């Protein structure tokens, strides 16, 4: 069994726990929240063996093997490093760090302590993405790629009213490119590698972060356009356009429908068999790595995390989004 402690009590932690409980090697050992009342309530709701409101005491628990971190982005680095220095494996929500400097410190800490460190990006592990990748050759020579993830934030209205929400604050290292654009960048880097050049534009909202943005990436034979927003909804699918066909993906964060549209008018629907609890794939990958003694995932590798954060840093540089964490 792999005994997990969770950090954070939001919906994503709830989904992680639900997915974890479908793996026979998963045990929810403890939950952590800065509020003891919230920690106790969350532990009771999800059947954790214990709970903590003191982070150091949680890490001192010798029955805990791994820590799942789903706190605000700016907390990822210090919490992950503390956990790994305590000998715990770490599964950290994306983006794993505020910037490349933080990520490199996290990777170095994992290597020093001989523990597994993995960024919790589920999409590359899902059958839908694998089907897309395996059928990409049908497009022929690639010419243009469009990847889109735009979803109106449930907290944006409160932010506009001036309420003190965490979702649009530079101090928490968030915003559109970090929270949603990251879902566009992981598939791009996985499928095509690093671009030769990148140009980015963004629209800021009060709080110092971007509410929406776009980036253009240049490759040898094609361009990639990324569109992402937390202040508007999009209903467009993503496309990988080649000279022979276009591979259409309903949504790259949870790819469920893959369609190949050939230049001659033929349409091929690619069958995808995929579980609804989409976080199960990252849970299974992480637990498999722990049990086999691997110190990093071959799919969600340290190199993948580094390449993505390099692009995130460059997009933020070009769009003028600066975090307090960048100055440390």
**Given this structure, which CATH class describes domain 124-278?**
alpha beta
- Provide CATH code, domain 2-120: 3.40.50.720
The answer to pTM > 0.85 is: yes
Taking the C-alpha atoms of residue 86 and residue 99, their distance in angstroms, rounded to an integer, is 23
Q: Rounded to whole angstroms, how far apart are CA atoms 142 and 140?
A: 6
Domain locations in the chain as residue ranges? 2-120, 124-278
**99 conformational bin, left if phi > 0, alpha if psi -120 to 50, beta if neither:** beta
Sign of the four-CA dihedral 313, 318, 324, 328: positive
Q: Tell me if domain 2-120 and domain 124-278 are identical in fold.
A: no
Q: What is the pLDDT along the chain (328 residues), one digit of tens a residue?
A: 999 999 999 999 999 999 999 999 999 999 999 999 999 999 999 999 999 999 999 999 999 999 999 999 999 999 999 999 999 999 999 999 999 999 999 999 999 999 999 999 999 999 999 999 999 999 999 999 999 999 999 999 999 998 888 899 999 999 999 999 999 999 999 999 999 999 999 999 999 999 999 999 999 999 999 999 999 999 999 999 999 999 999 999 999 999 999 999 999 999 999 999 999 999 999 999 999 999 999 999 999 999 999 999 999 999 999 999 999 7
């Amino acid at each position: 069994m792999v005994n997990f402690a969770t950090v954070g009590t939001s919906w994503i932690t709830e989904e992680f726990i639900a997915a974890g409980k479908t793996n026979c090697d998963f045990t929810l050992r403890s939950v952590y929240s800065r509020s003891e009342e919230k920690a106790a309530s969350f532990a009771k709701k999800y059947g954790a063996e214990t709970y903590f409101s003191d982070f150091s005491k949680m890490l001192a628990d010798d029955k805990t093997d791994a820590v799942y971190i789903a706190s605000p982005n700016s907390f990822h680095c210090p919490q992950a490093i503390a956990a790994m220095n305590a000998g715990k494996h770490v599964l950290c929500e994306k983006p794993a760090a505020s910037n490349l400097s933080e990520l490199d410190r996290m990777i170095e800490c994992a290597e020093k302590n001989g523990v597994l460190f993995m960024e919790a990006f589920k999409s590359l592990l899902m059958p839908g993405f694998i089907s897309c990748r395996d059928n990409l050759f049908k497009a022929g020579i690639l010419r243009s790629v469009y990847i889109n993830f735009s979803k109106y934030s449930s907290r944006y209205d409160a932010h506009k009213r001036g309420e003190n929400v965490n979702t649009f604050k530079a101090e928490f290292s968030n915003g559109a490119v970090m929270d949603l654009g990251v879902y566009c960048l992981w598939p791009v880097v996985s499928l095509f590698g690093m671009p030769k050049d990148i140009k980015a534009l963004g629209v800021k909202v009060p709080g110092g972060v971007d509410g929406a943005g776009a980036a253009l990436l240049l490759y040898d034979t094609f361009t990639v356009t990324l569109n992402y927003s937390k202040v508007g909804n999009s209903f467009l699918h993503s496309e990988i356009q080649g000279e022979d066909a276009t591979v259409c993906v309903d949504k790259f964060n949870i790819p469920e429908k893959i369609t190949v549209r050939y230049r001659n008018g033929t349409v091929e629907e690619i069958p995808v068999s995929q579980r609804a609890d989409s976080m199960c794939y990252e849970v299974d990958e992480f637990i498999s790595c722990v049990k086999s003694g691997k110190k990093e995932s071959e799919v969600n590798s340290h190199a993948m995390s580094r390449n993505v954060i390099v692009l995130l840093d460059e997009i933020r540089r070009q769009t003028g989004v600066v975090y307090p964490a960048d100055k440390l």
